[in-house]
C-alpha cells in the first residue's frame, strides 16, 4: 500500500507540473494536425494529478494508520 501511494503521488505531481509531457507520451501520436494539447486537456490532466496526489496521500495515511 505504501509503494502504491508513493507511485500515485509521483505520477500526480508529474501530471500537475508537466501535463504537456503526459500529452506528448499518450495523445500526440493520435493526431498529425494538432501540435499542442487543448486548454481543457491541460486542465483535466492537472485535476487528475491533484486527485492522484490525494489518493496517494490517503493510501500512505491508511498504511501508517494500520501500523499503530
- Using alpha carbons, select from 21, 19, 9 the residue that is nearest to residue 51: 9
Q: What is the spatial distance between Cα 47 and Cα 37, in angstroms, rounded to a whole number?
A: 15
Decide: 27 and 37 in contact? Cβ < 8 Å. Answer: yes
Q: What is the spatial distance between Cα 4 and Cα 34, in angstroms, rounded to a whole number?
A: 34
Please report the pLDDT score of residue 16 as a whole number: 96
Please give the model's pTM, rounded to 2 decimal places.
Answer: 0.86
pLDDT 10s digits, 13-61: 999 999 999 999 998 888 778 788 899 999 999 999 999 999 999 999 9
Amino acid at each position: 500500500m505504501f509503494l502504491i501511494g508513493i507511485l500515485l503521488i509521483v505520477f500526480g505531481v508529474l501530471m500537475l507540473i508537466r501535463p504537456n509531457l503526459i500529452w506528448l507520451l499518450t495523445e500526440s501520436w493520435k493526431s498529425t494536425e494538432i501540435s499542442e494539447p487543448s486548454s481543457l486537456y491541460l486542465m483535466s490532466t492537472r485535476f487528475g494529478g491533484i486527485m492522484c496526489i490525494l489518493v496517494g496521500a490517503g493510501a500512505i495515511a491508511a498504511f501508517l494508520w494500520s501500523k499503530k
